[in-house]
Chain A
Amino acid sequence: NAGVTQTPKFRILKIGQSMTLQCAQDMNHNYMYWYRQDPGMGLKLIYYSVGAGITDKGEVPNGYNVSRSTTEDFPLRLELAAPSQTSVYFCASSELDRGLYEQYFGPGTRLTVT
């Protein structure tokens, strides 16, 4: 199993550009999450999904959008990038319905907006 994969690893965006961060998992987990990690701030939840077709906002959703058309994929879309979105982004999955409460994290995408 590859686990949770994320692409790209690094990206530099200009202000106002848009991009999609890709996340995929091959563990058949229903629950998927997007976090951003800023220095000294821990992890902040952006969006999450409890299954294909179902998404909901987390703590810091502004400026982002998600979709979940399949169990495996959970892309995060940034529209009109702003310097405040410079961060490291992590995707994670878990399977609460089967009692696997721990989360599995991808390696992260380091995004810089200039």
Chain B
Amino acid sequence: AQSVAQPEDQVNVAEGNPLTVKCTYSVSGNPYLFWYVQYPNRGLQFLLKYITGDNLVKGSYGFEAEFNKSQTSFHLKKPSALVSDSALYFCAVLNADSGTYKYIFGTGTRLKVLA
């Protein structure tokens, strides 16, 4: 079965420090991987994606993520956190080989950046 795991319900980081939000996945075919951010009472906003090519992908607001095929991970990172980065972050995967067009989402990680 396909799945996405975000092992941390919450991550706390001091403003200015680097942040990492973890994501691991399990799919039988080629994974297309995504990160989304959700601010309170809003819909999800796309941050970045890995489809193919360079394992390090850069996205909106200074975020980046590294695709690691051997560890089946796609951790979200930012070199210097801002208080405004505080939000709920979701990792998602699409099995490119399945032909089902269904995205699988993790349960979300709440990021708190402390001033």
CB contact list, B38-81 vs A, under 8 A: 41-46, 49, 51
Contacts of B49 in A (CB 8 A): 101-102
Using a CB–CB distance below 8 Å, which chain B residues touch chain A? 9, 32, 34, 36, 41-46, 49, 51, 90, 92, 94, 101-103, 105-108
Using a CB–CB distance below 8 Å, which chain A residues touch chain B? 4, 31, 33, 35, 40-43, 45, 48, 50, 58, 90, 92, 96, 99, 101-108
Q: Is the interface of A mostly helix, strand, loop or mixed?
A: strand
Q: Is the interface of B mostly helix, strand, loop or mixed?
A: strand
Tally of contacts, chain A with chain B, CB under 8 A = 52
Given A101-B49, A102-B34: A42 in contact with B90 (beta carbons within 8 A): yes
CA distance in complex: A103, B41 (Å)? 18
**Are A43 and B105 within 8 A (Cβ)?**
yes
Q: Other than the known A42-B107, A101-B94, what 13 A-B pairs have Cβ atoms closer than 8 Å?
A: A4-B43, A42-B105, A42-B106, A43-B105, A45-B102, A45-B103, A90-B43, A92-B44, A102-B34, A102-B46, A104-B46, A105-B36, A105-B44
**Are A50 and B101 within 8 A (Cβ)?**
yes
